[in-house]
Amino acid sequence: MRILKKINLAVVGPSDSVALITEIAQEREVLNILSLVYQDASEVPGIIKKMDDYVDVWLFSGKVPYLHAKDSAVTLKPLYYIPHTGSSLYRALLQILDVENLEVGKISFDTFNKKEIEESFADIPIVVPEIYVNDYSNIISAEEITHYHYQLWLDGKSNIAVTCFLSTYNELRELGVPTFRIWPTRDNIRTMLTIAISKVQEIRSKGSQIAIHHIAIDKYDDLIAQVASNYEIRRIELKLYELLINYTEMLKGSILMLGEGHYTIYSTRGIIENITKDFTVMPLFEEITSNMALNVSGGIGFGPTAYAANENAHSALALARQAGYSKWMVVLDDKSVIGPLSSATYLQYAIKSDDQNMQNLAVKLNIRTTTLMKMLAALKRFDSEIINAEDLALYLSITTRSARRLLSNLINNGLAISAGEEGVGKGRPRNLYRILIDKIVAVQNN
């Protein structure tokens, strides 16, 4: 029988929420649980930095600690939080009406949006009270939430406060404000545990995918013509081979020297994701650049089988060579392309599209569907809808002339307009174009 590797789950939040989530999480035998309690949500980035090496997935008690984690960007591990839904709200309303037997006149809420609250009241046979809501979307402190509720109560605008914050609940009660706490429900906790476990299992499955590098010296025939002898060629190849062996050792992989400047490395996806920082940089490229006056390109392919990974690696190397010299590209198992790695023009795009609208648009623009997908990815990276032909050419790995032709076709199809000129020193000013992204998206969605 196959033994499943345990998943290290970090549960983060105030003490009472962490205790409840931990209790429910103990139902899952696959989990090792790390219960991490804070006094204030601002402590979350520090907690992650300290514990991230021991964690597979992070589960937060609510939206605020999750936002602290997400905004700090100190981990690449999956992040989830327990959402507060209508069932959480019903429990608080039940306590207000049946347990405390309070008159529901004016209530202040946080975290929920107004529609959720109104729908919850619509499901129970009472008159909807006057409602005040702070449904923050960015990081907010417990102190700010406490002040929000307390000020409404002081002003006579609310007579009851309902909060998701433990410290706010405690402080408002001390101040004499009738306050009720929203807790995560057991069903919501179980749902998020299932999602978190599934995500880690998916990552582990992908991490074990076969990974193949195809690596080639650019313009190998020209290199042979330039050097004095075959001995010199072999010295260059052996020096490169030494760097490749060091890299292969990092990957815990194996390497084949195929001859004529070609090499193949076999490994697995998980370790490559880690070494390339989720396919953004290529340490080997930087090592070759600093140690050798040699242009080397590479393609990395992934797949569930050796055949699929090999096909994708060949496609990635071909794309790298289309992009120029010393380029490194990745083709994932879903045929999406990432790269060039360690480059300012790094993009992620689909190698093809089954969308008939996109195929038709590519025909109208007289470009390949791959080029269209690449252009859309490039437009997302620009800070502005304004672009010149030179920058577009750089991202698409095409000539400036081809980029001008593409921009002209976009204008002719009502998908771009002229946007003036920009000066470039003493040379001729460059024409600027505004890409009408909304119209392109409309074509894509029609």
Reported as a pLDDT band with limits 50, 70 and 90, residue 2 is very low
Q: How far apart are CA 156 and CA 95, in angstroms?
A: 22
Q: Where are the alpha helices (DSSP H) in 138-282?
A: 142-154, 166-174, 186-207, 220-226, 230-251, 269-275
The CA-atom distances, in angstroms, between 62 and each of 13, 188, 223, 282, 351 are: 8, 11, 60, 36, 38
The CA-atom distances, in angstroms, between 121 and each of 102, 118, 132, 134 are: 15, 5, 14, 17
Q: How far apart are CA 434 and CA 289, in angstroms?
A: 37
Q: Is 366 left (phi over 0), alpha (psi -120 to 50) or beta?
A: left
Global pTM reads 0.60
Alpha carbon of residue 239 to chain centroid? 37
pLDDT at 21: 95
Closest CA to 103 of 119, 126, 122, 131: 126
The mean pLDDT of 241-249, rounded to a whole number, is: 94
Percent of the chain with pLDDT over 90: 40
Q: Please tell me the least confidently modeled range out of 95-109, 181-195, 312-326.
A: 95-109
pLDDT at 423: 73
For 140-151, give one letter per residue: b (16+ CB within 10 A) or e. Answer: bebeebbebbbe
Reported as a pLDDT band with limits 50, 70 and 90, residue 357 is confident
Residue 297 has φ and ψ, to the nearest 5°, of: -110, 155
- Residue with the bigger pLDDT between 123 and 193: it is 193
Reported as a pLDDT band with limits 50, 70 and 90, residue 60 is very high
pLDDT at 47: 96
Q: How far apart are CA 68 and CA 290, in angstroms?
A: 38
Q: 197-211, pLDDT tens digit by residue?
A: 998 988 887 777 899
Asked whether the beta carbons of 37 and 60 are under 8 A apart, the reply is no
231 pLDDT higher than 70: yes
405 sits in which H/E element: helix 400-412
Residue 416 has φ and ψ, to the nearest 5°, of: -155, 160
132 pLDDT higher than 60: yes
Handedness of CA 49, 55, 58, 60 (dihedral sign): negative
Residue 298 structure tokens: 């590479």
Q: Tally the residues of the chain.
A: 446
1 pLDDT higher than 50: no
Residue 168 structure tokens: 């706010």
Q: How far apart are CA 312 and CA 300, in angstroms?
A: 7
Asked whether the beta carbons of 6 and 30 are under 8 A apart, the reply is yes
Q: Please tell me the least confidently modeled range out of 63-67, 209-213, 351-355, 414-418.
A: 351-355
pLDDT at 146: 93
Name the strands in the sheet holding 296-303, side by side, starting at the edge strand that comes first in the sequence: 254-259, 262-268, 210-217, 296-303, 328-331, 336-339, 347-350
Reported as a pLDDT band with limits 50, 70 and 90, residue 125 is low
pLDDT at 37: 95
430 sits in which H/E element: strand 430-435
332 pLDDT higher than 50: yes
Reported as a pLDDT band with limits 50, 70 and 90, residue 126 is low
3-class secondary-structure state, position 293: coil
pLDDT at 310: 94
| Burial (0-12, 13-18, 19+ Cβ within 10 Å), 418 | exposed
257 pLDDT higher than 80: yes
The DSSP symbol for 54 reads G
Asked whether the beta carbons of 57 and 196 are under 8 A apart, the reply is yes
Mean pLDDT of the chain: 87
Secondary structure of 239-273 in HEC code, one letter for each residue: HHHHHHHHHHHHHCCEEEEEECCEEEEEEEHHHHH
Closest CA to 373 of 440, 424, 436: 440
Q: How far apart are CA 42 and CA 14, in angstroms?
A: 12
Q: 145-173, pLDDT tens digit by residue?
A: 999 999 999 999 998 899 988 889 999 99
Asked whether the beta carbons of 367 and 406 are under 8 A apart, the reply is yes
366 pLDDT higher than 90: no
Angle between helices 15-25 and 186-207 (to 10 degrees): 60
Reported as a pLDDT band with limits 50, 70 and 90, residue 189 is very high
217 sits in which H/E element: strand 210-217
Q: Residue written as tokens 């936002």? A: 67
128 pLDDT higher than 70: no
Residues 6+ apart with CB under 8 A from 426: none
Most confident of 115-129, 188-202, 384-398: 188-202
Amino acid 238 reads L
